[in-house]
Chains A and B, each alone.
Chain A
Amino acid sequence: MNYIAEHPARVLALSVAHVELVAFALIVACAIAFPLGLVAARRPRLASWLLGTLGALYTIPSLALLAVLVQLFGLGPAPIFVALVLYAQFMLARNVVAGINGVDRAQVDAARGLGMSSSQTLARVEIPQALPVMIGGVRVAAIAAIAIATLGGYVGTTGLGVLIFNGLTLHQSSMIVAGSLAASILAIVVDALLRLVERRARTVLG
């Protein structure tokens, strides 16, 4: 605790850098996972293959994956960024598939029967109806990403991981605690905010 009290500006700067890394990675991850999930949602065989593959990827220990990515991309922000995008795919795509498949069949039948094309049914009915579940996926992915992003400190990226790994090297437990605590608080805040968005989406879209 005393590290945060003594260096509030540094902890804050690293927290902001941490959030930037996670947010940027999530935006890119969503841009990949959402189209993938939408394509797979209507094709059960493709969906089980896709989620199986992404699920397998998700089980690779993050440190091992990071080691491979460092071989490919070198030190710096690239390997951790790629790792975050890859890990998020499973939770994002899974919730897109589950969200679309969970849409009330009567609404889809009505949409088609009234004369919406497939893409109109998707845009006007299925995506709005699936949005709360999709936001739920973003929330879970964001929390995981905040934790995994601390490994960035190990491969030379700025963020809260810097405190944790410098603390380990310097045997400064107060730095380790400060980094971990700040990351936990970030995760809790982001979780609460996205839960709020999710609940709001549920009431608006109900």
Chain B
Amino acid sequence: MSDAAIRFANATVRYPGADRNAVDNVSFDVAPGELVVLLGPSGCGKSTLLRTVNRLVALDAGSVEFFGTDVTASDPVELRRNIGYAIQAVGLFGHMTVAANIGVVPSLLGWSAGQIDARVDELLSMVDLDPARYRNRKPRELSGGEAQRVGVARALAARPRALLMDEPFGAVDALVRTELQRELLRIVRELNTTTIFVTHDVDEALLLADTIVAMHSGRVEQIGEPAMLLDRPESEYVRTLFHSGDALYREYFLHVRSEMRES
């Protein structure tokens, strides 16, 4: 048993026919309630690593523990119902209303209709959408930002022990993205949900992360708090990524970070 919420130990994934490991011997812990950002360019293995937690991707070596239990010891379907999952393409079910989308996992878990309705309204309010206006809409009647809010609400519906987010705000425009980032921060801090958030956007990582895991070619380059990666990059790659030495960049992001956490 460990006190980590999620523990990667020598996690390794190689896709069939690939000439290198997609995820290469990655080890780190995510503490309960922590928001960890996996940061790196496309193809660096960050999404693959994320998807090993809910077993959408199987490890070829090493292990992932979820609250002290090896994920391979659980039935994948059961495991996933305890882990929220939100993706860039959102993937709202087009034939279901917003309410039915949000209620998917609770209904799989056998909640009563009354419980689900109440939870849907609670979640819509949480993501700042008026339940009366939105619960009966279809996904095609939502803007990109609204759809992503519903995606986040759906991921949180059954009070999961952890939340996995794969570039959830990558497809929305900049203004909406900032708004969604602020709300995500508020929500995960309010719920104290352990979160792993994948992005290729350094700015987003600096704003959201308690801890950043900088990845490159399937390996972890450096792990640390945003200020640490800004101030003490351990490799040329991290130095370039975080514009090390650019005092203005550093000040700006550390300022916005603390400002986001006060509001």
Residue pair B87, A106 in contact (C-beta under 8 Å)? yes
For the complex formed, measure the closest distance between the CB of A198 and the CB atoms of chain B, giving whole angstroms: 14
Q: Could you say which of A113, A128, A204 contacts B85, with CB atoms under 8 Å apart?
A: A113
Q: How far is the CA of A49 from the CA of B92 in the complex (A)?
A: 33
User: In the complex the two chains form, is A106's CB within 8 Å of B138's CB?
Assistant: no
Q: Which residues of A contact B85 (CB under 8 A)?
A: 110, 113-114
A70 at the interface (CB under 8 A from B): no
Find A129's partner among B77, B82, B95, B155 (CB 8 Å cutoff).
B95
Of residues 70 through 98 on chain B, the ones whose CB sits less than 8 Å from some CB of chain A are 77-82, 85, 87, 89-95
Contact A205 B94 (CB under 8 A): yes
Q: Which of B79, B104, B140 has the most CB of A within 10 A?
A: B104
Q: Quick one: which of B129-148 are within 8 Å of A by CB?
A: 138-140
Measured CA separation A125–B139 after assembly (Å):
14
How large, as a class, is the contact surface on chain A? 20 to 34
A104 to B81, CA, bound (A): 21
B-chain residues with CB within 8 Å of residue A53 when the two chains form the complex: none
A114/B104 contact (C-beta < 8 A), A104-B94, A205-B94 known: yes
Taken together as a complex, chains A and B put the C-alpha atoms of A108 and B94 apart, in Å, by 11
A31 to chain B, nearest CB (A): 23
How many Å lie between the Cα of A104 and that of B93 in the bound state?
A: 9
Contact B91 A104 (CB under 8 A): yes
A107, A115, A120, A206: the one contacting B91 at CB < 8 Å is: A107
Contacts of B87 in A (CB 8 A): 106, 109-110, 113
Interface residues on B, range: 20 to 34
Which of A107, A114, A116, A125 has most chain B Cβ within 10 Å?
A114
Q: Are B105 and A206 neighbours in the complex by a CB distance under 8 Å?
A: no
C-alpha gap A187/B195 in the complex (Å): 57
Residues of B within 8 A of A105 (CB): 89
CB of A51 within 8 Å of the partner chain: no
Tell me the minimal C-beta distance from B144 to chain A in angstroms: 13
Q: Does the CB pair A106–B77 fall under 8 Å?
A: no
Asked if B91 and A128 sit within 8 Å, CB to CB, the answer is no
Q: Across the two chains, which residue of chain A brings its CB closest to B107?
A: A124
Convert B56-71 into 0s and 1s, putting 1 for each residue whose CB lies closer than 8 angstroms to a CB of A: 1000000000000000
How many whole Å from A19's CB to the nearest CB in chain B? Answer: 30
Report whether A114 and B154 are in contact in the complex, using a CB–CB cutoff of 8 Å.
yes
A158 CB to closest chain B CB (Å) equals: 41
Q: Report B143-159 residues with CB < 8 Å from chain A CB.
A: 151, 154-155
Those of A100-138 within 8 Å (CB) of chain B: 104-117, 120, 124-125, 128-129
Smallest CB gap from B84: residue in A:
A114
A204:B95 contact, CB within 8 angstroms: yes
Q: Contact check, B108 vs A107: say whether CB atoms are below 8 A apart.
A: no
Q: What separation, in Å, do the CA atoms of A112 and B155 have in the docked complex?
A: 12
A113 to B, closest residue via Cβ: B85
Task: Look across to chain B and name the residue whose beta carbon is closest to the beta carbon of A205.
Answer: B95
Closest Cβ–Cβ distance, residue B213 to chain A (whole Å): 20
Contact A113–B93 (Cβ < 8 Å): no
Which residues does chain A contribute within 8 Å of B154, judged by CB atoms?
114
Residue interface bits A53-92, CB-to-B below 8 A is 1, else 0 = 0000000000000000000000000000000000000000
Chain B nearest CB, measured from A168 CB (Å) = 49
A27-42 toward B: CB 8 Å interface, digit per residue (1/0)? 0000000000000000
Q: Measuring CB to CB, which residues of chain A are less than 8 angstroms from any residue of chain B? A: 104-117, 120, 124-125, 128-129, 204-206
B interface, CB within 8 angstroms of A: 54, 56, 77-82, 85, 87, 89-95, 104-105, 108, 138-140, 151, 154-155, 164
- Ordered by A's residue number, 11 sampled pairs between the chains whose C-beta atoms are within 8 Å are A105-B89, A107-B94, A110-B85, A113-B87, A114-B80, A114-B105, A114-B108, A115-B81, A204-B95, A205-B94, A205-B95
